[in-house]
Chains A and B, each alone.
Chain A
């Protein structure tokens, strides 16, 4: 039987880990969305094991890309061919699905972004500044407080006929506003949709500050699962918003596409499912006391071999000469 030639895209975000398999014609063979739950190494290994179980030897990986806030970790674990930031990856995927897209609204677990595109080129972008109000984890937290599963937040909120006004500028103020409204006896759906509207307004005035939002607008990232958020954006912008079919794994799709471009005519660095799943990855950290900077140094071990170091400002540890390359002898 012919092997299935695929490109692997890995997006390790703060809240979710997404993996996609893309075939040679850019069709999505497999897309997996799981919660990172603070254990990216374990979760990624589990997802890859799952893929291997399903396809076994039929799969040939010709390229791997890693993105998201855990991209450096993932890249070392799997032997990625390309490591890119999530903004580029998301833009790439958006352009792939809607070539004439002008605006990408992406809201993830810890950050929100706006990407402006013209003629299939990113012309401008912005991310939330130092505040994470209005991102997925805040919605998560509020849903939890009202004892509503996050998956159902959208369908409940969308029923609202009379949304309440909530301050979206700051997560703390928003929460106290919500509690106040709830104590006055407002319906849950009205409070929740009020929250969605507040987040949409906050996004427009904060992240998209001073930018012209033009159609077509594409809304992606985990929060796009919330149909009420889409409605809130449409109401605030008075424009139509498209949520693509694979909204929650767009970053992974984008990085798979980039990996495909990168490995054209080259052999992938992919370590193979076997190798990854049988390896023991471990992160150890210590506070360096060599100078008063007190850097928090993070060391990444593969089968007890030090393979990467991050966090030291002076690069005393992270300069590559201290690293044991995979092949070197066990210590």
Chain B
């Protein structure tokens, strides 16, 4: 059986974990990934999804189409990601995305076990059992395989390389930061201008609730995670600036961006917000990043100037 896993949207970073589990549970299933986002996928997604959803969700529809049409998979694995960390929920669009796909592909088999970590990380096991039941009836074997997965990383990304200086913190959802098509290669643009991009990873996921000097924690898994990383990075790393990649139409971004903007103002950190949508040219992003880097350089020169002359 060919099982498709999209490398997009909320499933980004989770592919390896899911594919590993599938290979253990079933010998005859073959996992097919949709690969990096292409213009074709974006175009398809924009034309075939409802207007109100955000850009990454539209591109995601293109990934599903690629799996269904070009790869001719027998089933698509789309877990329902209700919550990715303690005491938080995912964005409603993420929770609903399996249903969105189901209405569009009535004849496609969609496997969507629920992943709900609202009450703790240990609930990953419940998710795996539910997923495994689609492939085996041997409960004892399933239990054994699930136990072997308890300590493996659910989400995996390329970790950023943190340097002593010239670090620029790029914030945003991981499905924006790691999708070069949606973000128009922003990490490379920053690298090309001689700076070092760093970005949040989900490795902080824990059952602990850190208050982070906020009156209350965020409602959403991703927001809590991005803010947590920002808070940690501005305390522990030497940052030259913060770039927030905001996707047009994202509800979480609209509030988190403002919180981070205000924090940067208080911290006197150079801050730039880039709104991403269907733009086909990256000229606008290029101009903004270039100007931002010039500004940082300008500031830096001046600071040096002051320090050498007392």
Contacts and interface: CB of A to CB of B under 8 A. Distances in A.
A125 interface: yes
A322 interface: no
Interface in A106-151: 119, 121-127, 129-130
B39 A294 contact: yes
Contacts of A294: 38-40
Nearest to A119: B302
B132 to A, nearest CB: 33
Interface string B264-296: 010000110101010110011011101110110
Interface in B36-58: 38-41
A87 B287 contact: yes
Given A122-B298, A124-B270, A85 B40 contact: no
Given A119-B302, A130-B279, A296-B280, A85 B38 contact: no
A292 B39 contact: yes
A127 B291 CA distance: 11
A84 B283 contact: no
B287 A86 contact: yes
Interface residues of A, number: 24
A293 B40 contact: yes
Most buried by A among B39, B286, B299: B39
B299 A88 contact: no
A121 B299 CA distance: 7
A125 B274 CA distance: 12
B120 interface: no
Contact of A88 (B273, B286, B291): B291
A7 B283 CA distance: 26
Contacts of B290: 84-85, 87-88
B192 to A, nearest CB: 11
Nearest to A67: B287
A69 interface: yes
Interface in A68-115: 69, 84-88
Contacts, number: 66
Contact of A125 (B38, B261, B280, B295): B295
A35 interface: no
B217 interface: no
A210 interface: yes
B248 interface: yes
A316 B288 CA distance: 25
Nearest to A131: B275
A295 interface: yes
Nearest to B292: A125
A293 B38 CA distance: 5
Interface in B130-187: 180-181, 185
A289 to B, nearest CB: 11
A122 B40 contact: no
Contact of B291 (A69, A125, A129): A125
A291 B66 CA distance: 13
Nearest to A116: B295
A291 B288 contact: no
B294 A69 contact: no
Contacts of A126: 273
A313 interface: yes
Contact of B261 (A86, A127, A210): A210
Contacts of A291: 38
Contacts of A127: 284, 287-288
B298 A121 contact: yes
Contacts of A69: 283, 287
A85 B275 CA distance: 18
A313 B283 CA distance: 13
Contacts of B292: 125
Contacts of A123: 270, 295, 299
Interface string B234-256: 00000000000000100000000
Given A85-B291, A313-B185, A130 B277 contact: yes
Given A88-B290, A292-B41, 17 more contacts: A85-B286, A85-B294, A88-B295, A122-B298, A123-B270, A123-B295, A125-B291, A126-B273, A130-B248, A210-B262, A291-B38, A292-B39, A293-B38, A293-B181, A294-B38, A294-B39, A295-B39
26 contacts: A69-B283, A85-B286, A86-B287, A87-B287, A87-B290, A87-B291, A87-B294, A88-B294, A121-B299, A121-B302, A123-B270, A124-B270, A124-B271, A124-B295, A125-B292, A127-B287, A127-B288, A130-B275, A130-B277, A210-B261, A210-B262, A291-B38, A292-B38, A292-B39, A292-B40, A293-B39
Per CB-CB distance, the 10 closest pairs between chain A and chain B, nearest first, are: A87-B291, A85-B290, A292-B38, A292-B40, A88-B294, A129-B275, A122-B295, A85-B287, A293-B38, A85-B291
Interface of B: 38-41, 180-181, 185, 248, 261-262, 265, 270-271, 273, 275, 277, 279-280, 283-284, 286-288, 290-292, 294-295, 298-299, 302
